[in-house]
Chains A and B, each alone.
Chain A
Amino acid sequence: MSLFKTRLFWIALGIVVIASTLPLYVSGYILGLLTVAYYFGVFAMSWDLLFGFAGEVNFGPTFLIGVGAYTAGIINHEYGLSVYLCIFIGAMASVIAGFVLALPALRVRGPYFGLTTLVAVLMLQNFIVVFADLTGGEIGLTIPDVITINASANYWIALGFMSISAAVLYGLSQSPLGLVLQASGQDPVQAGALGFNIVKHKLFAFIVSAFFSGLAGAMLVFYFGTASVGTVVDVAVGVQVIVAAVLGGRRTVLGAALGAIFLIVAGEFLRPTGELATFIVSAVALLVVLFFPGGFLGAAMSREARS
């Protein structure tokens, strides 16, 4: 196990090093694609912390993402605060929104938690459309500032951000805290009888998930220069995040990032096929979920465990 841990670390480090050299020899178009994919990777990893470890299905990852993204965007648009301050405020807004949502939602059991989170997304979407003066409504919100217009710099920021998020989330999942979280997710009654306050631990996981989702959402809108329902709030975006995490492998954290990159890149490469692209990507995702429910990394890890 410890051997695998170190090996996984070196593999991950190798991939990040190779990825960081990409701007030297690939086109700006691919860099732009990967930049978005990396932010999606953080969405998916945050989601896996909740699903894979706390055992709660959050159907509304875009609620957390959207709150972070729109808060950062609106503050920048209205008050012209610095980009970094806006991103920070966005992440904090997401944490608060996550807390307010999860506190009551975690009291209900089973599918009702998921339904609550789904309703939260629809409410946020509605709010954005109704208060169009503030949010830009269905057209979207134009954001005056960007982090940088340099494609390579944007790429490196996204890569660095994803790597740090991955290290934190993965480290957390492997820590004693992660073990307790996993026990709470798998057998809440027994975890309670072992002396663990399940609600507290799950709430913590939700807040961590909210922080990284909101942060990534805020950074993404400053990369795009706009915030719109279709890119950061829509239920379809949330479904994509969920599919990415499941595809990459439940309870692996890192797999979720791989799944997200695969989904975004594959979707783009299949773009010439037109409408068929979404269908093909969905079909692949469905096959993986049906026949390898462990996902990419889950399958690799169980092979490792057997040997």
Chain B
Amino acid sequence: MDATSNFAPVLEVRGLTKRFGGLTAVKNLSLELRAGEIFGLIGPNGSGKSTAMKSIMGIERPTTGDVVFQGENIAGLPAHKIARKGFGMVFQHSRPLNRQTVLENIMVALLPDSLLMLFADKALTERAEWIAERVGLAAVMHRKPPTLPFADLRRMELAKAIARDPKVVLVDEPFAGLTLAEVGIFSELISSFRDEGRAVLLVDHNVKSVAALVDRVLAMYLGEEICTGRADEVMRNETVRRVYLGGAIETSARPETSFADKVPLLQVENVSVFYGKAQALDNVSIHVHQGEFVSVVGLNGAGKTTLFNAISGFLPYTGEIVRGGESLRGVSPAKIARHGLVQCPESRELFGEMSVRENLDLGGHHLSDEARPKQIEWLFELFPILRERQGQMAQTLSGGEQQMLAIGRALMMQPKILILDEPTLGLAPVILEQLSKALEKLRQTSDITVLLGEQNVTFALPHADRVYVLEHARIVWEGDPGRFAAEAGEGYL
């Protein structure tokens, strides 16, 4: 290894555990971070990496474990004290002071935590100007944030994080929402932090996106470490490959020509969506046939949820979304859902204080009194556990049962097209198997059309007839699942 490994670690995390109620988000995590090193903390959505970072920074209070910074255990201190010890954090989402200039925003980061600071001195302004130049904001430092492009706002976040010359810099998803060219510039900026002797901790979804930047990587899954090492070692690791790609994936695709409809049931054509300045979807086109099971595979932040929300009518978009020959533009989300295009959202959105039965009854509200019990009976056969849990409050269910209830409630609407957004989020493998079986049954016993969004390929591929890969707001691959591992799998680690 290189020379940096000779130094004693700046930051040592030992046995870090964070529980939220019954859920263990981070389990016994240990890592060492040296000065002049970029360390990647990698894991799929829901793996606990962000919670781990927040626990180190003191935004979340660790349940147990030590966070040792330069020989001192700082676990349990509030964020502002940890920050003053020499930590800076780059947030993925932030709300800058929009009435102040970029320079003033950076200056805030330089101020002492004192109630006596009534006048800013000149040295402070000069330092802020220097930092603005350092991150490439020199030309715009007297402008206000709302007038800046997205990449410059991200630069400002970098500037704030390094303003007080921290020894440890934590970066949450450094490249989210950036174009490829901007990714290059930000990579250079972050490696320059390393060259200045800072220890940098990056959190991201996959190894590939940060492989060129990081010295070492720790891969996480379900709150636990899978393996630690150089990026290429981690990418070769069997367990990591299984988590991201699954083992030998069995597929059972039906060829596209077997679907009888000439014009696909759902057509999404050249759809683009912007959130303010960040582009979330870039000219995306997909189509789904009657009775087909299509998976949209992509990492968190790729644009899956945005795509589904555009289809469900929640977001303004450019382009066309056509269902059964009729444009969905201008149709209200409620009407879209009532006409049989039903989304089961990533966040589940259950009525937590209502019983399982009440949640299901609400889903089947529009059914006739004869049809409703039949539909519920059919549903209980699909998810037998829901029958037992009927009287229980939804929020007391386990994560897996909640997901089944969310799908069940959507199915109570008797959808023609069911959109499932990341049903596997944060669920243990044994639950995934149950869900998987239910989906298989659904596919074989009904003529329902399913559009599934997943980052878990193992889950998404077995049932799929066709797969789209969404990356950085674009569709980058389309094909049958059998070819996925060979053609698109590598880019997915």
Interface residues of A (CB under 8 A from B): 1, 171-172, 175-177, 179-180, 182-183, 186-187, 189-190, 192-198, 200-201, 204, 251, 301, 305
Report how far A177 CA is from B117 CA in the complex, Å: 6
Q: Are B118 and A197 in contact (CB under 8 A)?
A: no
Q: Are B117 and A176 in contact (CB under 8 A)?
A: yes
Binds A, one of B6-14, B96-104, B322-330: B96-104
Q: Are B80 and A195 in contact (CB under 8 A)?
A: yes
Interface residues of B (CB under 8 A from A): 57-59, 78-80, 83-84, 87-89, 91, 94-95, 97, 99-101, 104, 107-109, 111, 113, 115, 117-120, 144, 160, 163-164
Contacts A176-B119, A196-B113 known; A305 to B144 CB distance under 8 Å?
yes
B236 to chain A, nearest CB (A): 35
With a 10 A CB-CB cut-off, give which of A179, A189, A193, A201 has the most chain B CB atoms. A193
A108 to chain B, nearest CB (A): 17
Q: Please give me the residue from chain A that is nearest to B116 by CB atom.
A: A177
Q: Are A180 and B97 in contact (CB under 8 A)?
A: no
Which residues of chain B are within 8 angstroms of A194 by Cβ–Cβ distance?
A: 80, 83, 108-109, 160, 163
Contact of B83 among A176, A192, A305 (CB under 8 A): A192
Contacts A179-B107, A180-B111, A187-B95 known; A196 to B118 CB distance under 8 Å?
no
Q: Are B113 and A195 in contact (CB under 8 A)?
A: yes
With a 10 A CB-CB cut-off, give which of A1, A190, A251 has the most chain B CB atoms. A190
Which residues of chain A are within 8 angstroms of B89 by Cβ–Cβ distance?
A: 190, 193
Q: Please give me the residue from chain A that is nearest to B120 by CB atom.
A: A176
Report how far A190 CA is from B94 CA in the complex, Å: 7
Which residues of chain A are within 8 angstroms of B84 by Cβ–Cβ distance?
A: 195
B277 to chain A, nearest CB (A): 17
Which residues of chain B are within 8 angstroms of A301 by Cβ–Cβ distance?
A: 99
Report how far A251 CA is from B243 CA in the complex, Å: 49
Report how far A187 CA is from B119 CA in the complex, Å: 23
Q: What are 23 pairs between A and B in contact, CB < 8 Å?
A: A176-B120, A179-B97, A179-B100, A179-B104, A179-B108, A183-B108, A187-B94, A189-B59, A189-B79, A189-B91, A190-B91, A190-B94, A190-B95, A192-B83, A193-B57, A193-B87, A193-B89, A194-B163, A195-B84, A196-B113, A197-B80, A197-B113, A301-B99
Q: Are B107 and A192 in contact (CB under 8 A)?
A: no
Which residues of chain B are within 8 angstroms of A198 by Cβ–Cβ distance?
A: 80
Report how far A301 CA is from B107 CA in the complex, Å: 22
Main secondary structure on B side of the interface with A: loop
Which residues of chain B are within 8 angstroms of A186 by Cβ–Cβ distance?
A: 95, 97
Report how far A149 CA is from B5 CA in the complex, Å: 81
Q: Are A192 and B117 in contact (CB under 8 A)?
A: no
Report how far A171 CA is from B79 CA in the complex, Å: 29
B31 to chain A, nearest CB (A): 20
Q: Are B111 and A192 in contact (CB under 8 A)?
A: no
Contact of B118 among A175, A195, A251 (CB under 8 A): A175
Report how far A182 CA is from B44 CA in the complex, Å: 35
Report how far A198 CA is from B115 CA in the complex, Å: 11
Q: Are B83 and A193 in contact (CB under 8 A)?
A: yes
Report how far A125 CA is from B163 CA in the complex, Å: 49
Report how far A189 CA is from B94 CA in the complex, Å: 9
Which residues of chain A are within 8 angstroms of B108 by Cβ–Cβ distance?
A: 176, 179-180, 183, 194
Q: Please give me the residue from chain A that is nearest to B170 by CB atom.
A: A193
Q: Please give me the residue from chain A that is nearest to B121 by CB atom.
A: A176
Contact of B78 among A172, A180, A197, A204 (CB under 8 A): A197
B269 to chain A, nearest CB (A): 36
Q: Are B117 and A175 in contact (CB under 8 A)?
A: yes
Which residues of chain A are within 8 angstroms of B83 by Cβ–Cβ distance?
A: 192-195
Report how far A184 CA is from B422 CA in the complex, Å: 34
Contact of B115 among A1, A177, A183 (CB under 8 A): A177
Which residues of chain A are within 8 angstroms of B91 by Cβ–Cβ distance?
A: 189-190, 193
Report how far A301 CA is from B98 CA in the complex, Å: 12
Contacts A183-B108, A192-B79 known; A175 to B119 CB distance under 8 Å?
yes
A4 to chain B, nearest CB (A): 11
Which residues of chain A are within 8 angstroms of B94 by Cβ–Cβ distance?
A: 187, 190
Report how far A177 CA is from B113 CA in the complex, Å: 9
Which residues of chain B are within 8 angstroms of A172 by Cβ–Cβ distance?
A: 118
Report how far A175 CA is from B87 CA in the complex, Å: 25
Report how far A186 CA is from B93 CA in the complex, Å: 12
Q: Please give me the residue from chain B that is nearest to A195 by CB atom.
A: B83
Which residues of chain B are within 8 angstroms of A182 by Cβ–Cβ distance?
A: 97, 100
Report how far A182 CA is from B160 CA in the complex, Å: 15
Which residues of chain A are within 8 angstroms of B109 by Cβ–Cβ distance?
A: 194
Report how far A179 CA is from B94 CA in the complex, Å: 16
Which residues of chain B are within 8 angstroms of A1 by Cβ–Cβ distance?
A: 101
Which residues of chain B are within 8 angstroms of A175 by Cβ–Cβ distance?
A: 117-120
Known: A180-B113, A193-B57, A201-B115. 9 other contacts (CB 8 A): A172-B118, A179-B108, A192-B79, A193-B89, A194-B80, A194-B108, A196-B111, A197-B78, A204-B115
Report how far A177 CA is from B116 CA in the complex, Å: 8
A1 to chain B, nearest CB (A): 7
Which residues of chain A are within 8 angstroms of B87 by Cβ–Cβ distance?
A: 193
Q: Are B111 and A176 in contact (CB under 8 A)?
A: yes
Q: Please give me the residue from chain B that is nearest to A178 by CB atom.
A: B118
Report how far A92 CA is from B200 CA in the complex, Å: 48
Contacts A192-B83, A305-B99 known; A179 to B111 CB distance under 8 Å?
yes
Which residues of chain B are within 8 angstroms of A176 by Cβ–Cβ distance?
A: 107-108, 111, 117-120
Report how far A246 CA is from B94 CA in the complex, Å: 25
B165 to chain A, nearest CB (A): 12
Q: Are B80 and A196 in contact (CB under 8 A)?
A: yes
Report how far A198 CA is from B108 CA in the complex, Å: 13
The 7 A-B pairs at the shortest CB distance, nearest first, are namely: A195-B83, A192-B79, A193-B89, A187-B95, A176-B117, A195-B84, A175-B118
Q: Please give me the residue from chain B that is nearest to A207 by CB atom.
A: B115
With a 10 A CB-CB cut-off, give which of B83, B144, B164 has the most chain A CB atoms. B83
Q: Please give me the residue from chain A that is nearest to B163 by CB atom.
A: A194
A57 to chain B, nearest CB (A): 17
Report how far A305 CA is from B78 CA in the complex, Å: 37
B145 to chain A, nearest CB (A): 11
